[in-house]
Amino acid sequence: MQGLIQRVTHANVVVDGAMIGEIQQGILLLLGVEKGDDETSVDKLLHKVTHYRIFTDSEGKMNLSLKDIRGDLLIVSQFTLAADTKKGMRPSFSSAATPDQAEHLYNYFVEQARELGLVISTGEFGADMQVSLCNDGPVTFMLKS
């Protein structure tokens, strides 16, 4: 399981012209599910996302986590993160989870995140989405479980 996290001042996701998710200061998470991922993978990645220290403290150092600042989390499924781009000029998605497995784990991730008491917003699994954000820094990291 992979998660591309971006520290944002705000972000939103639109489907069919309607805004379905929006956050203020926090993390935009693009979530990729691969074959072999399971609920343990979700739990590990969720812990990393919420505890990874990417927000600045009073001295300007990245010492604070999403939980520390009580920031928002926007979770967007993105199967293209599972792409193999090592060969050729077209990505291979052979390592991506099946749609059913990926949707189950995406929904499980969202459910577990909501239990943390943070402001959680989401995209729509499998939809054509337009994601807008203001990357703060810019700060972007790829996390793996």
Per-residue pLDDT reduced to its tens digit, 33-58: 999 999 999 999 999 999 999 999 99
Give the mean model confidence (pLDDT) for residues 118-126: 97
pTM (predicted TM-score): 0.96
**Per residue in 58-87, pLDDT tens?**
999 999 999 999 999 999 999 999 999 999
CATH of the domain at 116: 3.50.80.10
Residue ranges making up the domain that contains 112: 2-131
Q: Confirm whether 141 is domain-assigned.
A: no
Number of domains into which the chain is organized = 1
Q: What is the DSSP letter of 85?
A: -
What pLDDT, on a 0 to 100 scale, did the predictor assign at position 88? 93
Please give the distance of CA 26 from its chain centroid, rounded to a whole number.
11
Residues that are catalytic: 78-80
What pLDDT, on a 0 to 100 scale, did the predictor assign at position 144? 96
In angstroms, the CA 30 to CA 122 distance is 10
